[in-house]
Structure formats: C-alpha cells, structure tokens
Amino acid sequence: MAATSPASRLVASAARERLRPLGLNQRGRSRIWVDDRGWWLGIVEFPSPTWSQGSGLTVGVMWLWQDLGHLAFDFTEQVQPRQDFRNEMQFGAVAAALADQAGDRVETFRSTFGGLDQVAERLLERPVRRGFLWESFNAGVAAALVGRPVEARDR
C-alpha cells in the first residue's frame, strides 16, 4: 500500500473535523465526502493536482432520480481552485480553510435544496445551454415531480 502524502493526510484530518459533525461520510480513503439527503447526495471533493501535492475544492449535488451506479455532479460549484502544498504548516491552514468552505457550501445546499419545489425553481431559473443535456433533463424531471408539465416538456 502506498504511503499517504502529507497533503492528503492534512485534507482528510481537516475534513473529518469539519464534515463528520455535519453527518457526511468519507468514501473509502478517497478525498470525496458524501452527504446523503435521501433523494439527493451532496458531494464534496478535494481534488488532488496531477503532478504535485495540494488540493482544490468542488462541492455539488447529485439527484437520485436516475440510477447511474457512480457519483456525478449534477449541480456543481468549483469553490476553490488548486492550492499547492509547500510545507505542512502552510498547507494545514489551507486544508482547514478548504474544509470550512466545504462545510459552509454543504449547509447552503441543504437549505437551497430543502424540498422539491426549491429544486425545481432553482433548476428552472437556469438558462437552457446548448450541449448541456443533463441540466435540461434534471430541470425537466424536477418540474414534472412538482406538477409543472409545461416546463417539464420544454426541458
């Protein structure tokens, strides 16, 4: 088994401290944390740079009205681009800040997507973008689920 990098260890520790109390679970030993809301998942990812140590932060939502068999970001925000690891002291503060931002975004998504009506409203307010089929699909499903057949068909 490969040794865990200092950056990964610091991210995992900061995420455990901030995200576990919110009820999120780490997916294996990955840098992905999941917030199971029953009919949607909140996903927090601390992506690792390809050729160096460090981390960024992406937080999003996966709607569970289709069975994909894998995690996917259906609604996402790149909260923080990559932050490089220089030393443990510097990156410990970076990891803590990333975990705090992740926790804040999780709490925001929980209130933003508290019910199907809120989800439909939020997804339908986004403009239709050519080439982004799944955005329109998800908006249409949400509209159908809340009894808005005209918008559902349009999407």
Q: What is the pTM of this model?
A: 0.91
Collapse the DSSP code of 70 into the 3-class scheme (helix H, G, I; strand E, B; otherwise coil) and give the result: coil
From first to last of its 155 residues, the chain has per-residue pLDDT tens of 456 789 999 999 999 999 999 999 999 989 999 999 999 999 999 998 777 888 999 999 999 998 888 999 999 877 878 889 999 999 999 999 999 999 999 999 999 999 999 999 999 999 998 888 999 999 999 999 999 999 999 99
Rounded Cα distance between 94 and 85, Å, is 9
Rounded Cα distance between 82 and 95, Å, is 11
DSSP-derived secondary structure letter, 74: S
